[in-house]
């Protein structure tokens, strides 16, 4: 894959992850209220559609770091690998959240079809909701670490303009603040949307930049040269 192809793929994945996540959240039924299990059961198609979209978003999240890895590795191998690890952890957390959502659908259908005891199923439903929310929050923390790593590597290497990577670093700090507030206040991280808005805007601008202009080829060449020099130095040291 060429450098420009990797940049375009990364930009497309940024858009897929964001759009699929927003559509998935909009598609699923409301999970609040005392009778949410019955509502979920009655809207199985919306739950399934929302779950599918959220899975697309989860896989795209890991794909972003993976698609950038061959380029970032030349600039900072440790940060590049770390971003892949943490954004993969993020994806796993989001998949767990989706499984919890689908389990709520099964629970609601069981409640409606068998007339099982509402109290006991409600308790299980509460646990599944809690697991979903906590897995999503853990995913946000993993996202913040992974994104901070690749934005730092992009800033150091100038693979994209520093105003764009610097914006990403600042926005990720705000997103981390939102996640911390959600954790200590026992709230959903979606309740801190103003703190998440800067990273949403930055990712969309970065996606367009990568699709239209790609990575800075001068910076790519410099990073490749530095990587080659390291390998040559290591080989010379081994030979000595």
pLDDT for 232: 52
How large is the average pLDDT for residues 39-59? 91
Instruction: Give yes or no for residue 235 having a pLDDT over 60.
Output: no
Whole-number Å distance between alpha carbons of 233 and 237: 6
| Burial class of 228 by CB neighbour count within 10 A (0 to 12, 13 to 18, 19+) | exposed
pLDDT tens digits for range 9-18: 999 999 999 9
> Band of the pLDDT at 29, cuts 50, 70, 90?
confident
37-51, 78-92, 225-239 — which is least confidently predicted?
225-239
The answer to whether 195 touches 174, Cβ cutoff 8 Å, is: yes
Instruction: Enter the pTM of the model.
Output: 0.89
pLDDT for 28: 84
> Band of the pLDDT at 239, cuts 50, 70, 90?
low
Instruction: Give yes or no for residue 211 having a pLDDT over 60.
Output: yes
Whole-number Å distance between alpha carbons of 158 and 98: 37
Boundaries of every domain in the chain: 3-220
Across the chain, mean pLDDT equals 89
Instruction: Give yes or no for residue 229 having a pLDDT over 70.
Output: no
Distances (CA, A) of 238 to 74, 76, 231: 21, 22, 10
pLDDT for 97: 95
Whole-number Å distance between alpha carbons of 234 and 35: 65
pLDDT tens digits for range 92-140: 999 999 999 999 888 888 877 776 666 777 788 889 999 999 999 999 9
Please indicate whether residue 37 or residue 198 has the higher confidence score (pLDDT): 198
Distances (CA, A) of 199 to 12, 62, 119, 138: 16, 17, 41, 17
Please indicate whether residue 110 or residue 62 has the higher confidence score (pLDDT): 62
Instruction: Give yes or no for residue 25 having a pLDDT over 80.
Output: yes
């Amino acid at each position: 894959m060429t450098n420009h192809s990797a940049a375009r793929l990364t930009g497309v994945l940024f858009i897929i992850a964001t759009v699929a996540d927003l559509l998935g959240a909009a598609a699923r039924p409301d999970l609040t209220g005392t009778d949410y299990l019955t509502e979920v059961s009655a809207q199985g198609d919306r739950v399934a559609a929302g779950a599918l979209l959220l899975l697309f978003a989860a896989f795209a999240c890991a794909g972003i770091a993976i698609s950038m890895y061959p380029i970032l590795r030349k600039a900072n191998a440790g940060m590049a690998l770390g971003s892949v690890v943490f954004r993969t952890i993020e994806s796993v957390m989001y998949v767990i959240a989706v499984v919890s959502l689908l389990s709520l659908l099964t629970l609601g259908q069981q409640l409606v079809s068998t007339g099982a005891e509402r109290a006991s199923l409600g308790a299980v439903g509460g646990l599944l909701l809690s697991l979903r929310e906590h897995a999503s929050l853990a995913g946000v923390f993993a996202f913040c670490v992974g994104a901070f790593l690749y934005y730092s590597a992009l800033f150091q290497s100038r693979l994209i303009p520093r105003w764009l990577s610097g914006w990403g670093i600042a926005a990720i700090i705000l997103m981390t603040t939102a996640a911390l507030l959600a954790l200590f206040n026992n709230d959903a991280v979606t309740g801190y949307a103003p703190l998440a808005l800067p990273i949403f805007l930055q990712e969309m601008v970065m996606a367009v930049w990568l699709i239209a202009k790609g990575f800075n080829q001068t910076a790519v060449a410099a990073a490749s040269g530095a990587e080659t020099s390291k390998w040559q130095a290591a080989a010379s040291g081994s030979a000595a």
